[in-house]
Amino acid sequence: MNSIYSFPPVASASAKCLILGSMPGKVSLSAQQYYAHPRNLFWRFMSSVVGVPESLSYEQRCAALLEHRIALWDVLKTCTRSSSLDSDIDESSIVPNDFLEFLSEHPHIQCIYFNGAKAEASYLRYVQPQLPLHLANIEKCRLPSTSPANAAMSLAVKLDQWRAITHTA
Protein backbone atom coordinates (compact mmCIF):
# COMPACT_ATOMS: atom_id res chain seq x y z
CA MET A 1 0.00 0.00 0.00
CA ASN A 2 1.11 3.54 -0.74
CA SER A 3 0.83 6.66 1.39
CA ILE A 4 -0.81 9.33 -0.72
CA TYR A 5 -1.46 13.02 -0.19
CA SER A 6 -4.24 15.26 -1.43
CA PHE A 7 -3.88 18.62 -3.16
CA PRO A 8 -4.29 22.12 -1.77
CA PRO A 9 -7.83 23.45 -2.05
CA VAL A 10 -9.09 25.35 -5.06
CA ALA A 11 -10.78 28.19 -3.18
CA SER A 12 -11.23 31.90 -2.82
CA ALA A 13 -12.30 33.87 0.25
CA SER A 14 -15.69 34.53 -1.39
CA ALA A 15 -16.59 30.84 -1.90
CA LYS A 16 -20.19 30.00 -1.02
CA CYS A 17 -20.11 26.27 -1.58
CA LEU A 18 -17.46 23.64 -1.01
CA ILE A 19 -17.34 20.40 -2.98
CA LEU A 20 -15.39 17.66 -1.21
CA GLY A 21 -14.05 14.42 -2.58
CA SER A 22 -12.38 11.80 -0.44
CA MET A 23 -8.87 11.50 -1.96
CA PRO A 24 -7.65 11.90 -5.57
CA GLY A 25 -7.27 8.70 -7.58
CA LYS A 26 -4.05 7.56 -9.24
CA VAL A 27 -4.71 9.39 -12.53
CA SER A 28 -5.46 12.64 -10.70
CA LEU A 29 -2.42 12.25 -8.45
CA SER A 30 -0.21 11.64 -11.46
CA ALA A 31 -1.63 14.67 -13.31
CA GLN A 32 -1.75 16.79 -10.12
CA GLN A 33 -5.31 17.80 -11.06
CA TYR A 34 -8.65 17.24 -9.40
CA TYR A 35 -10.82 14.76 -11.30
CA ALA A 36 -8.30 14.09 -14.08
CA HIS A 37 -9.54 10.59 -14.94
CA PRO A 38 -11.10 10.90 -18.42
CA ARG A 39 -14.18 8.92 -17.36
CA ASN A 40 -14.79 10.87 -14.16
CA LEU A 41 -17.93 12.95 -14.66
CA PHE A 42 -17.01 15.89 -12.42
CA TRP A 43 -15.92 18.36 -15.11
CA ARG A 44 -18.73 17.24 -17.41
CA PHE A 45 -21.19 18.00 -14.62
CA MET A 46 -19.59 21.38 -13.93
CA SER A 47 -20.06 22.16 -17.62
CA SER A 48 -23.74 21.22 -17.52
CA VAL A 49 -24.58 22.64 -14.10
CA VAL A 50 -22.65 25.92 -13.91
CA GLY A 51 -21.36 26.38 -17.45
CA VAL A 52 -17.65 25.66 -16.96
CA PRO A 53 -16.56 24.50 -20.43
CA GLU A 54 -14.77 21.16 -20.41
CA SER A 55 -12.57 22.41 -23.25
CA LEU A 56 -10.79 24.93 -21.00
CA SER A 57 -7.41 24.12 -19.54
CA TYR A 58 -7.41 22.73 -16.00
CA GLU A 59 -6.26 26.10 -14.62
CA GLN A 60 -9.05 27.89 -16.50
CA ARG A 61 -11.69 25.41 -15.27
CA CYS A 62 -10.51 25.95 -11.69
CA ALA A 63 -10.63 29.73 -12.18
CA ALA A 64 -14.16 29.41 -13.56
CA LEU A 65 -15.23 27.48 -10.46
CA LEU A 66 -13.86 30.31 -8.34
CA GLU A 67 -15.85 32.84 -10.37
CA HIS A 68 -18.96 30.80 -9.48
CA ARG A 69 -17.90 30.93 -5.82
CA ILE A 70 -17.30 27.17 -5.75
CA ALA A 71 -14.41 25.74 -3.72
CA LEU A 72 -12.98 22.28 -4.30
CA TRP A 73 -11.00 20.09 -1.89
CA ASP A 74 -10.75 16.63 -0.36
CA VAL A 75 -11.65 15.45 3.11
CA LEU A 76 -8.45 13.48 3.51
CA LYS A 77 -5.02 15.07 3.71
CA THR A 78 -3.25 11.72 3.60
CA CYS A 79 -4.02 8.03 3.77
CA THR A 80 -2.74 4.67 2.64
CA ARG A 81 -4.48 3.07 -0.33
CA SER A 82 -3.51 0.28 -2.74
CA SER A 83 -5.65 1.42 -5.67
CA SER A 84 -7.81 4.36 -6.70
CA LEU A 85 -10.88 2.91 -4.98
CA ASP A 86 -12.22 4.54 -1.83
CA SER A 87 -12.94 1.05 -0.50
CA ASP A 88 -9.18 0.35 -0.49
CA ILE A 89 -8.38 3.22 1.92
CA ASP A 90 -6.85 1.90 5.14
CA GLU A 91 -9.04 3.57 7.78
CA SER A 92 -6.24 3.48 10.38
CA SER A 93 -4.06 5.65 8.08
CA ILE A 94 -6.52 8.51 7.58
CA VAL A 95 -5.46 12.04 8.42
CA PRO A 96 -8.11 14.66 7.55
CA ASN A 97 -7.41 18.09 6.16
CA ASP A 98 -7.61 21.07 8.53
CA PHE A 99 -11.22 22.16 8.15
CA LEU A 100 -11.22 24.34 11.25
CA GLU A 101 -8.69 26.61 9.58
CA PHE A 102 -10.22 26.31 6.11
CA LEU A 103 -13.80 27.08 7.16
CA SER A 104 -12.62 29.92 9.40
CA GLU A 105 -10.77 31.45 6.42
CA HIS A 106 -13.80 30.93 4.13
CA PRO A 107 -16.65 32.37 6.20
CA HIS A 108 -19.11 32.58 3.29
CA ILE A 109 -19.36 28.79 2.83
CA GLN A 110 -23.07 28.03 3.10
CA CYS A 111 -23.12 24.38 2.05
CA ILE A 112 -20.69 21.49 1.82
CA TYR A 113 -21.37 19.04 -1.00
CA PHE A 114 -19.83 15.59 -0.82
CA ASN A 115 -18.78 13.89 -4.03
CA GLY A 116 -19.89 10.43 -2.92
CA ALA A 117 -20.50 8.42 0.21
CA LYS A 118 -16.86 7.99 1.28
CA ALA A 119 -16.27 11.75 1.34
CA GLU A 120 -19.38 12.24 3.46
CA ALA A 121 -18.62 9.37 5.85
CA SER A 122 -15.02 10.48 6.32
CA TYR A 123 -16.05 14.07 7.00
CA LEU A 124 -18.71 13.05 9.51
CA ARG A 125 -16.31 10.70 11.30
CA TYR A 126 -12.99 12.57 11.26
CA VAL A 127 -13.87 16.25 10.80
CA GLN A 128 -17.34 17.10 12.09
CA PRO A 129 -16.71 16.10 15.76
CA GLN A 130 -13.67 18.42 15.90
CA LEU A 131 -15.50 21.53 14.68
CA PRO A 132 -17.11 24.22 16.85
CA LEU A 133 -20.89 24.25 16.60
CA HIS A 134 -21.16 27.21 14.21
CA LEU A 135 -18.94 25.38 11.67
CA ALA A 136 -20.36 21.92 12.35
CA ASN A 137 -23.82 23.29 11.54
CA ILE A 138 -22.99 24.32 7.97
CA GLU A 139 -25.52 22.66 5.67
CA LYS A 140 -24.32 19.43 4.06
CA CYS A 141 -25.48 17.44 1.06
CA ARG A 142 -24.19 14.15 -0.33
CA LEU A 143 -24.17 13.90 -4.11
CA PRO A 144 -23.59 10.74 -6.13
CA SER A 145 -19.94 10.05 -6.83
CA THR A 146 -18.69 11.21 -10.20
CA SER A 147 -16.16 8.36 -10.22
CA PRO A 148 -16.27 5.86 -13.09
CA ALA A 149 -16.54 3.18 -10.37
CA ASN A 150 -20.04 4.47 -9.51
CA ALA A 151 -22.08 2.80 -12.23
CA ALA A 152 -25.17 1.92 -10.19
CA MET A 153 -27.01 5.14 -11.06
CA SER A 154 -27.82 6.56 -14.47
CA LEU A 155 -25.98 9.59 -15.78
CA ALA A 156 -29.23 11.58 -15.97
CA VAL A 157 -30.12 10.89 -12.33
CA LYS A 158 -26.60 11.77 -11.15
CA LEU A 159 -26.59 15.01 -13.14
CA ASP A 160 -30.01 15.96 -11.82
CA GLN A 161 -28.79 15.53 -8.23
CA TRP A 162 -25.64 17.56 -8.97
CA ARG A 163 -27.84 20.49 -9.99
CA ALA A 164 -28.29 21.06 -6.22
CA ILE A 165 -25.09 23.10 -6.19
CA THR A 166 -26.83 25.87 -8.15
CA HIS A 167 -28.87 26.64 -5.05
CA THR A 168 -25.68 27.81 -3.33
CA ALA A 169 -23.26 28.76 -6.10
| Catalytic (active-site) positions | 40
CA distances from 105 to 96, 100, 113 (A): 17, 9, 18
Q: What is the phi-psi region of residue 110: left when phi exceeds 0, alpha when psi lies from -120 to 50, beta otherwise?
A: alpha
The secondary structure element, H or E, covering residue 95 is: strand 95-96
Residue 146 has φ and ψ, to the nearest 5°, of: -90, 0
